């Protein structure tokens, strides 16, 4: 019987294996080889016997039963040490002996999740009431306000949040023009709730840099919004927990309370409230948008650049509730990217569009018909997921004469369900009447973008038009919406925002129709930390947690929601299926939650370890309910062993003394007891309000003891549950020292330390000196060994995590150890729980020597067995370590022990880095399974600045011939260039600003990126197993066997004679990635639901205000004047860049 051909390993006869794909990026299949020698085609057992034949060698590869015998000896040794020193049974007895000091409480998932959902609803409802008061007041204030045409800057008193930064910046707008506004100077006090300095007596105002503060529109806006200050203050009086209260005006003005200085970035501040996710969500209903871009040959290089930038800015006005596609057209229309239909406007899809737009090339002739037909076909496709609310086409062009009326008659008239917005881009002499007509005939708006400075404003004002049906709907549209998680621009961290639109209730004149413009959006922030406080912290155990998702399936609460860097321009959009390892059960749970259903399910699923090195297959109970009055749904996840938990009840003991210092258990927290009782680490939890936090556990323990000398554990300022459980576990673990550890000689068994960690927050390490090398997290719930031990039966080995080679000196000093831990399971009255984890720390070097002996043919402890010249012996891991490789590998594929001295400093490394050939064979023979996933929250070093995207970096540079050509000086290109240069003098940093820094925090920031993670875990093979690594003349025999009651794999293999098979190396390290292929993902979009409300039509809408524009042919005198100004370096006073339509007058 021939050995079956393998990729790089052969199964033993009679056992079929599942073929594996060749792994790893860059890995190559081996080149075809000549026919193998007959010896390699023999069955493994026959081959072994031939190798053992007389004359072949004095030693033969060990028989399977021999290696199984070694495995049993290893299992017995590990179990024996853990039974003596781990103290699992002793700890069970200690808990039972102290049964009167605690009660066993039950976590009832349905009741828990309903209570938390109710608490969150109540918290948000208080914010809703404040929002409604603000929105009503704003509408009334604006209605009562009298518009002033002659209002001046000096007439307005307000605190300009950017004033201090601008005074320090000699190049700022105010310094250049000389500000006339009466800006208040305020004093601020540090407030921990806001993580900022604030003033509760005033509001602050932020105005975008590209908006002129002295314009009539802005001054009138500042005038009437000043009255909001008293409402903000009254709201806080009624609810002191309120955080930022903000009014974002449709004019770009932001007024917020309490006042605090603006967080000025290093370069130019491009913050505009109208581009914030919360504003966009509150100002309009969801959108289906098709952007079409004219790329005919008439589009000059500079105009095309303006178009590309405009499209990118337009994409930034879309949220995850919107759907979009982008196409270019000349004679024909085609999508700019791989997306052939509308796709969700999420961060990843918008990135694809922005990169694709940069590749547009101008050629051919203009064909509006092709562009619009493509766009209408896209919007009429009902076989895809989309917003199904506002439908619109955004066309960017340099001009044309065709009105394509036949296309509109065919697709859009008479109902006009699709709005058309047209954008004339660049400076030119074309007649814009056709573009105006297209917009006006289709309920849209016409805009002009003559230069870079007009892009941001004119690509966002379409939201005013979309807001018309909302305003006309009146009270029906006055519904509070809650956003997803995003980073607060003022440093509050991750927040949610409740939004409510504010409508213009005025009429343009007696008997006239009421105004249909949205005034802005009112918002109130809720810190994510405040919502987390409403969830049970420590009663759910280390592996239980609460999570919440929105209608898009994005999490707003989840222990894995930990963005390393956040761009506050974009919301934090982590899907539930990316926060956890995706499977079919979780897809169904996610769908049910999005649909607003209640449910409960127990599933077997995969979880990633806290250190992201391991995968465990576990049982979890999921329970979920909707949070009423919101679009959120709340879930609770509990392992079966966390159904019950301990609650200490020490009141009787504490009441007998005046100070807790007299309580015996508390005395074992004092450092003076560490030498005899072992070092104690306490979890840095919020035991009492006045307890000072510290990252240094020694200092935190000192703070804790000092506080306990002043208060009792029953004090109202303390969390009795946390405090009592801490004191209980202090005494429980001390009794373990007294009964077990103190009387044992750790050196006899080559142990560096023994330890116990508990749900109550105690980690006791014995002896005291071992604490010097203890690197585990003092919070057991955040320690990987603790959480994995709870999820796994038996003994869990954890080798030291290595990024660099250990120095031999460290090994000589016995400072490197391997953790072995196991959970303590209690059964009390038929209720099972796991309140603690115990373990030992093995001396790596000593146990490596012991490992050799246990995996040898020794029958006594004295001398290793030697084989005579004429005798025949089996190799073992001790005598034959030059020819035989023996290793213990854990369930993640990391090296734990080796019989090779030179590999001791590689313990903790992924085994493929130690022996790629052997690790690949183990994988191909199903000892390991691979799991790949993506981390969307990683951070990466800043990339070198590029010349792509929306940043206006490049400008057209004319040649010498251009300057000498009079025709060029009167051309649109020259005029546009002068506009660019003029903007450059006034806002020169626009041409240098990196988008990440322009709107970022003052400090340098790393950029977010996607990392691909690969973990390995045990596959389906449990039995002892022999195989051949088939590598031609470099073939190797190996044996592998799982060690019972551990997470270890015992492997014995011939050492490689050559390295012909080294090409196939498995990779485990994180690698940079673009994430899954977006073009494939959009073909199978994840389930989602849009908001329940949609306002896209109102029969009374007045569409007559649809944009006005006029071509502006530059005159020679103007050009000469501009040239003189440029040469003299005297920038003219810029005109207001706010487009104040007649209907915008408030």
Of the candidates 408, 410, 403, 465, the one whose C-alpha atom is nearest the C-alpha of residue 437 is 403
CA gap 73, 681 in Å, rounded = 35
pLDDT at 721 (0 to 100): 93
pLDDT score of 446:
97
Whether 855 contacts 848, CB under 8 Å: no
The Cα 55–Cα 638 span in angstroms is 63
Strands 59-60 and 762-766: unpaired
Q: How far apart are CA 312 and CA 949, in angstroms?
A: 7
pLDDT of 1140 reads: 39
What is the 8-class DSSP label of residue 832?
E
SS3 sequence of 451-515: CHHHHHHHCCCHHHHHCHHHHHHHHHHCCCEECCCEECCCCCCEEEEEEEEEECCCECCCCCCEC
User: C-alpha 249: how far from its chain's center?
Assistant: 30
pTM of the model: 0.85
Q: Judge whether 804 and 613 are in contact, CB under 8 Å.
A: no
- pLDDT given at position 816: 83
What tokens does 942 get?
């800043």
Handedness of CA 885, 887, 891, 894 (dihedral sign): negative
Neighbours of 976 (CB within 10 A): 24
Average confidence (pLDDT) per 10 residues, the chain, 1146 residues: 37 38 38 35 38 51 93 96 93 94 96 97 96 96 94 92 67 50 84 92 93 92 96 96 96 96 74 90 94 93 94 94 97 96 94 96 94 97 93 95 96 96 91 94 96 91 94 92 89 92 83 83 95 94 97 95 70 92 97 97 96 96 96 97 93 48 64 92 92 89 86 81 92 94 91 97 96 94 97 96 53 72 95 97 95 87 65 86 94 96 92 92 93 87 48 39 44 48 42 40 56 93 79 84 96 82 79 88 92 91 79 40 41 40 40
CA 588/CA 584 separation, integer angstroms: 6
Rounded alpha-carbon distances, angstroms, from residue 193 to 157, 244, 498: 28, 10, 18
- Token look-up 């966002």 returns 460
Nearest to residue 208, comparing CAs of 1004, 991, 1138, 1139? 1138
Residues 138/142/145/147 CA torsion (nearest 10 deg): 140
Tokens of residue 644, six digits: 């019950």
Question: Tokens in use for 12?
Answer: 């033993």
At residue 803, the pLDDT reads 60
Q: Which two tokens stand for residue 1051?
A: 């492997």
pLDDT value at position 1113?
40
- CB count, 10 Å around CB of 178? 6
3-state secondary structure 783-804: CHHHHHHHHCCCEEEECCCCCC
Identify the CA nearest to 432 among candidates 450, 448, 456, 452. 448
pLDDT at 94: 95
DSSP for 664-692 reads HHHHTTSGGGHHHH-EEEE-----BTTPP
d(CA 785, CA 783): 6
Instruction: State the pLDDT at residue 871.
Output: 66
């Amino acid at each position: 019987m021939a050995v079956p051909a393998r990729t790089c390993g052969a199964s033993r006869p009679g056992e079929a294996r599942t073929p594996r794909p060749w792994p790893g990026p860059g890995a190559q299949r081996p080149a075809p080889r000549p026919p193998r020698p007959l010896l390699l085609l023999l069955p493994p057992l026959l081959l072994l016997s031939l190798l053992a034949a007389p004359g072949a060698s004095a030693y033969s590869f060990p028989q399977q039963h021999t290696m199984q015998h070694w495995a049993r000896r290893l299992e017995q040794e590990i179990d024996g040490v853990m039974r003596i020193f781990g103290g699992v049974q002793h700890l069970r007895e200690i808990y039972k002996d102290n049964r009167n000091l605690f009660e066993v409480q039950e976590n009832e998932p349905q009741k828990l999740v309903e209570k938390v959902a109710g608490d969150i609803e109540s918290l948000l409802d208080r914010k809703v009431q404040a929002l409604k008061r603000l929105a009503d007041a704003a509408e009334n204030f604006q209605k009562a306000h009298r518009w002033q045409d002659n209002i001046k800057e000096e007439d307005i008193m307000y605190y300009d949040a950017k004033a201090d930064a601008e005074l320090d910046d000699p190049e700022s707008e105010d310094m250049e023009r000389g500000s006339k506004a009466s800006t208040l100077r305020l004093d601020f006090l540090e407030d921990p709730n806001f993580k900022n300095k604030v003033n509760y007596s005033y509001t602050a105002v932020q105005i975008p840099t590209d908006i002129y503060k002295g314009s009539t529109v802005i001054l009138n806006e500042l005038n009437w919004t000043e009255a909001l200050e008293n409402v903000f203050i009254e709201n806080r009086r009624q609810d002191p927990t309120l955080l930022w209260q903000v009014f974002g005006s449709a004019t770009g003005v932001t007024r917020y309370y309490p006042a605090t200085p603006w967080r000025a970035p290093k370069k130019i501040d491009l913050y505009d409230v109208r581009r914030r996710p919360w504003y966009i969500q509150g100002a309009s209903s969801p959108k289906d948008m098709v952007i079409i871009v004219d790329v005919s040959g008439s589009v000059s290089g500079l105009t095309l650049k303006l178009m590309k930038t405009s499209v990118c800015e337009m994409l930034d006005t879309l949220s995850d509730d919107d759907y979009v596609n982008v196409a270019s057209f000349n004679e024909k229309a085609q999508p700019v990217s791989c997306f052939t239909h509308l796709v969700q406007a999420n961060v990843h899809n918008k990135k694809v569009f922005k990169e694709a737009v940069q590749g547009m090339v101008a050629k051919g002739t203009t064909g509006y018909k092709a562009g619009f037909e493509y766009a209408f076909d896209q919007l009429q496709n009902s076989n895809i997921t989309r917003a199904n609310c506002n439908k619109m086409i955004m066309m960017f062009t340099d001009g044309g004469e065709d009105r394509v009326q036949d296309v509109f008659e065919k697709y859009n008239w008479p109902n006009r369900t699709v709005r058309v917005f047209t954008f004339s881009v660049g400076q030119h002499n074309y007649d814009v009447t056709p573009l105006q007509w297209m917009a006006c005939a289709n309920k849209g708006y016409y805009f002009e973008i003559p230069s870079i400075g007009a892009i941001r404003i004119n690509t966002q004002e379409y939201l005013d038009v979309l807001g018309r049906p909302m305003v006309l709907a009146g009270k029906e549209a006055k519904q509070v919406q809650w956003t997803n998680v995003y980073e607060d621009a003022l440093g509050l961290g991750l927040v949610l925002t409740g939004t409510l639109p504010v409508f213009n209730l005025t009429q343009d004149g007696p008997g006239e129709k009421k105004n249909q413009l949205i005034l802005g959006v009112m918002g109130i922030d809720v810190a994510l930390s405040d919502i987390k406080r409403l969830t049970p912290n420590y009663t759910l155990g280390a592996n239980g947690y609460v999570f919440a998702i929105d209608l898009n399936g994005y999490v707003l609460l989840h222990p894995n929601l930990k963005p390393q860097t956040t761009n506050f321009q974009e919301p934090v959009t982590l899907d539930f299926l990316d926060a956890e390892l995706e499977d079919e059960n979780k897809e169904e749970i996610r769908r049910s939650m999005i649909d607003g259903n209640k449910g409960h399910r127990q599933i077997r699923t995969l979880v990633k370890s806290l250190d992201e090195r391991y995968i465990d297959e576990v049982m979890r109970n999921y329970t979920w309910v909707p949070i009423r009055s919101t679009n959120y749904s709340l879930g609770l996840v509990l392992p079966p062993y966390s159904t019950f938990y301990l609650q200490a009840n020490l009141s009787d003991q504490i009441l007998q003394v005046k100070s807790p210092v007299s309580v015996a258990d508390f005395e074992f927290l004092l450092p003076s007891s560490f030498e005899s009782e072992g070092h104690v680490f306490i979890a840095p939890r919020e035991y009492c309000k006045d307890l000072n936090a510290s990252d240094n556990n020694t200092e935190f323990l000192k703070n804790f003891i000092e506080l306990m000398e002043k208060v009792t554990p029953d004090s109202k300022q303390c969390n009795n549950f946390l405090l009592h459980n801490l004191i209980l576990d202090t005494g429980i673990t001390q009794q373990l020292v007294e009964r077990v550890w103190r009387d044992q000689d750790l050196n006899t068994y080559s142990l560096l330390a023994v330890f116990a960690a508990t749900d109550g927050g105690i980690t006791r390490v014995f002896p005291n000196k071992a604490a010097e090398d203890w690197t585990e997290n003092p919070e057991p719930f955040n320690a990987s060994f603790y959480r994995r031990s709870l999820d796994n039966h038996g003994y869990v080995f954890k080798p030291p995590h290595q990024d660099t080679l250990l120095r031999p000196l460290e090994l000589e000093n016995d400072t490197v150890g391997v953790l072995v831990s196991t959970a303590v399971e209690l059964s009390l009255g038929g209720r099972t729980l796991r309140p603690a984890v115990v373990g030992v720390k093995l001396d790596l070097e000593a146990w490596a020597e012991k490992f050799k002996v246990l995996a040898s043919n020794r029958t006594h402890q004295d001398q290793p067995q030697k084989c005579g010249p004429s005798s025949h012996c089996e190799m073992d891991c001790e005598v034959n370590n030059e020819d035989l490789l023996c290793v213990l590998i854990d369930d993640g594929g990391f090296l734990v022990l080796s019989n090779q001295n030179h590999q001791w400093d590689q313990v903790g490394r992924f085994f493929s880095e130690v022996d790629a050939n052997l690790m690949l064979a183990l994988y191909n023979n199903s000892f390991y399974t691979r799991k790949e996933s993506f981390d969307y929250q990683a951070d990466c070093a800043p990339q070198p600045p590029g010349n792509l995207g929306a940043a206006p970096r490049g400008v057209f540079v004319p040649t010498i011939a251009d300057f000498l050509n009079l025709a060029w000086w009167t051309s649109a290109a020259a005029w546009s260039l002068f506009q660019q240069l003029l903007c450059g003098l006034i806002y020169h940093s626009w041409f240098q600003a990196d988008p990440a820094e322009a709107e970022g925090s003052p400090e340098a920031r790393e950029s977010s990126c996607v990392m691909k993670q690969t973990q390995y875990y045990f596959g389906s093979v449990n039995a002892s197993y022999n195989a051949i690594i088939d590598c031609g003349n470099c073939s190797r025999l190996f044996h592998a066997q799982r060690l019972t009651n551990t997470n270890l794999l015992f492997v014995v293999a011939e050492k490689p004679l050559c390295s012909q098979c080294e090409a196939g190396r498995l990779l485990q390290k994180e690698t940079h990635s673009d994430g899954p292929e977006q073009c494939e993902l959009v073909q199978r979009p994840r389930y989602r639901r849009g908001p329940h409300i949609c306002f896209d039509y109102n029969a009374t809408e007045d569409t007559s205000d649809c944009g006005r524009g006029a071509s502006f042919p530059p005159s020679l005198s103007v050009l000469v004047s501009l040239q003189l100004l440029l040469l003299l370096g005297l920038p003219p006073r810029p005109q207001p860049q706010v487009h104040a339509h007649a209907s915008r007058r408030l």
